[in-house]
A and B are shown apart, each in its own frame.
Chain A
Amino acid sequence: MSKTVEKNSKFLISENGLEKTSPKKRLEVLKTYKIYIGGQFPRTESGRYYIATNNKGEQLANVCLSSRKDFRDAVVSARNAFKGWSARAAFNRGQILYRIAEMFEGRKAQFIEELVKQDASKAQAQKEVTLSIDRLIYYAGWCDKYQQIFGTVNPVASSHFNFSVPEPTGVVAAIAPQESSLIGLVSAIAPIIAGANTCVILASETKPLCAVSFAEVVNSSDVPGGVVNILTGKPSELFSQFASHMDVNAIVYCGNDELIQKEIQQKAAGNVKRVLAYQDVNWLSEKGQTPYYILDLQEIKTTWHPIENIGSGGGGY
Chain B
Amino acid sequence: MNLTDSQLWWLIGALSVTAYLLKAVGFVIVGGRTMPAALERCLALIPASLLAALVVKDTFTVAQDVVIDARAAGLVVAVFAVWRRAPFIVVVVAAMAATALVRAFA
Instruction: Say if A and B assemble together.
Output: no
- Give B residues with C-beta under 8 Å from A: none
